[in-house]
Amino acid sequence: MNVPARPRVLWLAVSCFILPVALPAADDAVEKVSKLANEWVKTRAETVRLETEWNSHRALMQSMVDALDQRSRIIQEKMEHLKAKTAEDRGELDSLGKKNDLASSGLVAAEARLKETAQGVIALRPLLPPRLSAALDLPYKSITDPALSVSDRMQHTMTILNRCMQFNRVITASEEVLTLPGEAAPKSLEVIYWGLSHGYALDRAANKAWYGSPGPQGWQWEARPEAAVEVARLIAIATDRADPDFIVVPAKLSHAAK
């Protein structure tokens, strides 16, 4: 009696029953694993390609980064230099602005003083010897122009003052046409000026002499017939027509001009 053989037959039957069901599931797992392996291989290949490409471009990109960094540093240095330069220029501009303001103020003050001086020079003209006044006619007309620039006004004013100083340093003897008190018409006379202080006019033919000097109403002539001989000798000495000598002629140490 072999009773133990029954379980073996049963196991075989069960095995035969299970096997057909388990095989399809194993094929699916193998297929999935195969797909995953293929995907991994593809991913790895792409990763290797990208790494290789990155490695090939990394040196170029690094050099570009270094170049950009260097350019950035240069630009930064230029910016710092420009900031310093700009600050320095602003300081210079401020300084120049202050100097310009001072110069403008000084120019305004100088122009005011110049106008005052010009007015004084204009007021001086009637007191000048007629010969000098006539010679300065052009600059005198110029400084009365209200549209005249500061520099031109200064130039004409200095011309008048310089000519006056030069005239005052010398004795001037020449012929001059004058209109004198007591005379009906202008006539040509021999005239000698002692600087700006006074002068003498001589009508040699009529044996008349006049003494001229600045007065309250400007330059004025007064008849001095008694001095005609002395004035004639004075003019002769001044023009080298006579030897030097002491001559007594009328003169005033002071006058009423103010």
Per-residue pLDDT of the chain (258 residues; tens, 9 = 90+): 444 544 444 444 444 444 454 456 666 777 877 888 888 888 878 788 877 877 777 777 778 888 888 888 899 888 888 888 888 888 888 888 888 887 777 778 877 888 888 888 999 999 999 999 999 999 999 998 888 888 898 899 999 999 999 999 999 999 999 988 878 889 999 999 999 999 999 999 999 999 999 988 899 999 999 999 999 999 999 999 999 889 888 888 764 444
Of 149, 169, 189, at which residue does a domain stop? 169
Q: How far apart are CA 256 and CA 254, in angstroms?
A: 7
The confidence score (pLDDT) of residue 258 equals 42
Tell me how many domains the chain contains.
2
**Which bin fits 60, alpha (ψ -120 to 50), beta or left (φ > 0)?**
alpha
- Which residues have C-beta within 8 Å of that of residue 139, sequence separation ≥ 6? 156, 157, 159, 160
The confidence score (pLDDT) of residue 40 equals 81
The confidence score (pLDDT) of residue 43 equals 83
* Residue 245, in any domain of the structure: yes
- Specify whether 193 is located in the same domain as 249: yes
- Specify whether 198 is located in the same domain as 234: yes
- Specify whether 209 is located in the same domain as 235: yes
* Residue 122, in any domain of the structure: yes
* Residue 98, in any domain of the structure: no
- Specify whether 175 is located in the same domain as 254: yes
Q: How far apart are CA 39 and CA 43, in angstroms?
A: 6
* Residue 91, in any domain of the structure: no
- Which residues have C-beta within 8 Å of that of residue 96, sequence separation ≥ 6? none
The confidence score (pLDDT) of residue 200 equals 96
The confidence score (pLDDT) of residue 73 equals 86
Which residue carries 């290789």 as its tokens?
A: 52
- Specify whether 142 is located in the same domain as 175: no
Of 122, 141, 169, at which residue does a domain stop? 169
Residue numbers of the domain that contains 128 = 106-169
Q: How far apart are CA 133 and CA 206, in angstroms?
A: 27
* Residue 39, in any domain of the structure: no
The confidence score (pLDDT) of residue 127 equals 93
* Residue 62, in any domain of the structure: no
The confidence score (pLDDT) of residue 25 equals 61
pTM over 0.75: no
Encoded tokens for 236: 């002769």
- Specify whether 245 is located in the same domain as 257: yes
* Residue 180, in any domain of the structure: yes
Of 169, 185, 215, at which residue does a domain stop? 169
The confidence score (pLDDT) of residue 26 equals 65
- Specify whether 161 is located in the same domain as 204: no
Contacts 24+ apart (CB under 8 A), 107-110: 107/150, 110/150
* Residue 84, in any domain of the structure: no
For the chain, list the strands marked E by DSSP: 171-178, 187-194, 198-203, 208-215, 218-223
Q: How far apart are CA 229 and CA 245, in angstroms?
A: 14
